[in-house]
Amino acid sequence: MDLTGKNVVVIGGTSGIGLATATAALQQGAQVWAASRSQDKIDRAQSEHPDIHFSQVDTHNPDGLSTLFSSIGRIDHLVGAATGATRTQAPFMEQTDAQFRAAFDKFWGYTHVVRMGTPHLADQGSITLVSGTPARRCNPGMISVSCTGCAVEGLVRALAKELAPQRVNAVAPGIIDTPMFDHFGEKKAATMTAIGKGMPLGRVGLPDEVAEAIMLSMTNNYMTGVVIDIDGGALLA
């Protein structure tokens, strides 16, 4: 997985899976740019990872994305890991139209990342988008998340044909111990342990484990249109 001399851009790269991917790419010799819409996250990540170039940009700001990508020049590997959405967990009939549509902001953000980033993508470059297991196994109350994931994975398969020989893949994490669950506060560790007991591997995943799959998507030159599941066997349970 040598990335020496490669330019890697991670949108949503200041925490969780995105930051783990950015640091993994850096360790493999890449020049790494990571972006987030949160300046607080950028400041914190920059202090901890001074060799990564951090920028503030929103996936719903195509002009901002275009400016960022233009400033980098050639992009060898582009990763979309930003949620960029408000997700309501409730049955379909209990959600308002606005709540259901809001979940798709993640999808629309990805379309902006791809549309603005592809003109700068190397001929043999790659794009990797982050989906999730709800796309193919939807638990009650997760329908908007599931439908968004289905849209992302459909986009990946279509783009893989349209953009070839540039490669496009997706990584679908299961339950991963990220800041997404920090709202549990002091109960987070116990909550994650309890959730993990329901998985075939008996635990939830780690951001670094998902980052390894994204690195594979970057570096395997014969992989395109693929969804890589990193879910501890959740789709089997």
Neighbours of 208 (CB within 10 A): 13
Euclidean distance between CA atoms 155 and 18, whole angstroms: 20
Give the per-residue pLDDT at 196: 92
Name the residue with tokens 């259901």. 100
pLDDT band of residue 184 (cuts 50, 70, 90) is confident
Q: What is the pTM of this model?
A: 0.94
Q: pLDDT tens across 36-88, in order?
A: 999 999 999 999 999 999 999 999 999 999 999 999 999 999 999 998 788 88
Q: pLDDT tens across 153-170, in order?
A: 999 999 999 999 999 999
Cis peptide preceding 119, ω within 30 of 0: no
Q: pLDDT tens across 1-42, in order?
A: 799 999 999 999 999 999 999 999 999 999 999 999 999 999
Say if residue 237's pLDDT is above 70: no
Euclidean distance between CA atoms 86 and 214, whole angstroms: 24
Nearest one of 35, 112, 105, 114 to 68, comparing CA atoms = 35
Q: pLDDT tens across 186-218, in order?
A: 899 999 999 899 899 999 999 999 999 999 999
Q: pLDDT tens across 84-111, in order?
A: 788 888 999 999 999 999 999 999 999 9
Euclidean distance between CA atoms 193 and 34, whole angstroms: 30
Question: Which domains does the chain show, CATH number per domain?
Answer: 7-229 (3.40.50.720)
Instruction: With beta carbons less than 8 A apart as the criterion, state whether 145 and 87 touch.
Output: yes
